[in-house]
Amino acid sequence: MAASGARNYDLVVIGSGPGGYTAAIRASQLGMKAAIVEQAELGGVCLNWGCIPTKALLRSAELFEVMQRAAEYGLSAGQAGYDWKRVIQRSRQVADRMNKGVAFLMKKNGIDVIPRRGKLGEKAGDVIAGDEPLQARNVMIATGGRPRMIPGIAVDGERIITSREALVLSERPDRILIVGAGAIGVEFAYFFASFGTKVTLVEMLPRLLPIEDEEISKELERSFSRKGMAIRTSTKVSSLARDGDLVRAVLAGPKGEETIEADVALIAIGVQGNVEDAGLEAAKVHHEKGFIQVDGQMRTSTPGVVAIGDVVGPPLLAHVASAEGIVAVESLAGRNRGAIDYRKIPGCTYCHPQVASVGLTEAAAREQGHEIKIGRFPMRALGKAVAAGATEGFAKVVLDAKYGEILGVHMIGAEVTEVIAEASLALSGEATASTILSTVHAHPTMAESILEATANALGESINI
């Protein structure tokens, strides 16, 4: 029975990130009366403080680098310069525009937006939005995640910061220490280095982007080193503290201890789910190590409660959250479209050169017992890359040797985050190498690198 005075819905979504708002829209399309409870900005962290504004910053960095190379293209426009405050301002304007777009979509689809903090109530279907009771046939938890902290290191938001503060620094730091070389860490490393900041990038594991194929990681490290970054892999932060107007860190690496001073330290070691104060215990929703446990249809341990996105754990990607939202809603509507195959989820990192991948790395394929063939194609041999003056990187394909099935595609280079969609479609459709080779690719394009790498794996290379 609904709580007295409670508004009634078919679905209440707690959180409005890419997964939450996508799920609410799909629910509306399927005839459900839906509401979103959101305590902050519509669009969540991704749209307001993550994916979108960082890409705006990276675009500014990319263009600034190209401007400094204008002479290579036969162009002259005077000395390249930048307005740091304007760079930051544009990023915020982009985020604001996207936020307004989500608000429009909510109105268009008849979705109620309740601007309060939401949590589960004790009884089935009860949701508390601030102090307002809501009643729903189904509830979706899409509360997202937040930066994971290093125990014993205090983030003050000024000298020791997270990605959120890094997006709005009022001044460019002369020196920055970035702890963590996953996607967030390397994107900010590229951004700051492009504008002249001296970057020290520290990673506890043996290489940058540890989840990527090892060859890709090594190529990125070479590129970053050429840009003047100091790379410290297999290195732990023993201590990090603010000292007046700077920070001082003691690093423990293969060569012993090293003391680093910087103007700012950015902590980028990962994300943890927002499971606190969400009513999970009262509603008996099971969670472990900061993430809610779900099945293939995103159902939690409590009937009528589903969960999606960063709060359910890796892969911590916006497009995964959106896909999970649709799976969950369609399951609630009786349209079971099957569980997501997380082995076929593409990952993208938007530093320069960009990194993109889908499927198994070479090491993972071998560990799983596959007999494999490997193909590579360097961007320096690709007509479009040469014409664009963007010859860093290569494409790599991992094939099953017996059947020619595409097991993984790994890329580093210009615009590979766009090109990876071809590989994702190939894996989704269980395509083979012959499918790629029989597909005529437009010339000249960056996508030809996948065709050429596939041909290389089969000993049929034309252009190398």
Distance CA 228, CA 212 (A): 22
- Could you tell me the two tokens for 432? 């083979």
What does the block give as tokens for 141?
């938890």
Tokens of 330: 């369609």
Using an 8 Å Cβ cutoff, are 16 and 10 in contact?
no
Mean pLDDT split into 10-residue runs, the chain, 464 residues: 72 97 98 96 94 97 96 91 97 97 97 96 92 95 94 94 96 98 98 98 98 98 98 97 95 95 97 93 92 96 96 96 97 90 96 98 97 98 97 98 96 98 96 96 97 97 91
pLDDT for 2: 45
Environment class of residue 82 by beta-carbon count within 10 Å: exposed (0-12), middle (13-18) or buried (19+)? middle
Measured over the CA atoms of residue 294, residue 140, residue 47 and residue 101, the dihedral's sign is: positive
Instruction: Give DSSP secondary structure letters for 201-215.
Output: EE-SSSSSSTTS-HH
173 closest CA partner among 57, 59, 262, 61: 262
Strands in 360-429 per DSSP E: 372-378, 394-400, 406-413
* DSSP three-state, residue 302: coil
Burial of 117 (0-12, 13-18, 19+ CB in 10 A): middle
Q: Residue 417 has which token pair?
A: 């985050």
CA–CA separation, 24 and 380 (whole Å)? 45
Residue 230 has a CB neighbour count (10 Å cut-off) of 15
CA angle at residue 339 from 336 to 345, to 5 degrees? 135
Is the pTM here over 0.75, yes or no? yes
Q: Which two tokens stand for residue 286?
A: 């099971």
**What is the Cα–Cα distance from 363 to 407, expressed in whole angstroms?**
12
Residue 439 CA to its chain's centroid (Å): 30
Q: Report DSSP state, residue 299.
A: B
Distance CA 402, CA 411 (A): 23
Task: Write out the DSSP string of 153-211.
Answer: ----SSSEE-HHHHTT-SS--SEEEEE--SHHHHHHHHHHHHTT-EEEEE-SSSSSSTT
Say what percent of the chain tops pLDDT 70: 99
Calculate ∠ Cα 255-261-263, nearest 5°: 145
Q: For 209-228, what is each residue's pLDDT tens digit? A: 999 999 999 999 999 999 99
- CB neighbours (10 Å) of residue 141? 34
Residues 357, 378: Cα–Cα separation, whole Å: 16
Contact 361, 218 (CB under 8 A): no
Q: In whole angstroms, what is the distance from residue 232 CA to residue 189 CA? A: 13
- Active site residues per annotation: 443
CA distance 368 to 23: 34
Residue pair 294/312 in contact (Cβ under 8 Å)? The answer is yes
Q: Say what the pLDDT of residue 392 is.
A: 97
> Which of helix, strand or coil describes residue 355?
strand
Tokens representing residue 461 in the block: 């290379």
From CA 225, how far away is CA 186, in angstroms rounded? 12
Tokens representing 233 are 């892999």
pLDDT at 338: 87
CA distance linking residue 309 with residue 327, whole number of Å? 12
**How many angstroms from the chain centroid is the CA of residue 248?**
29
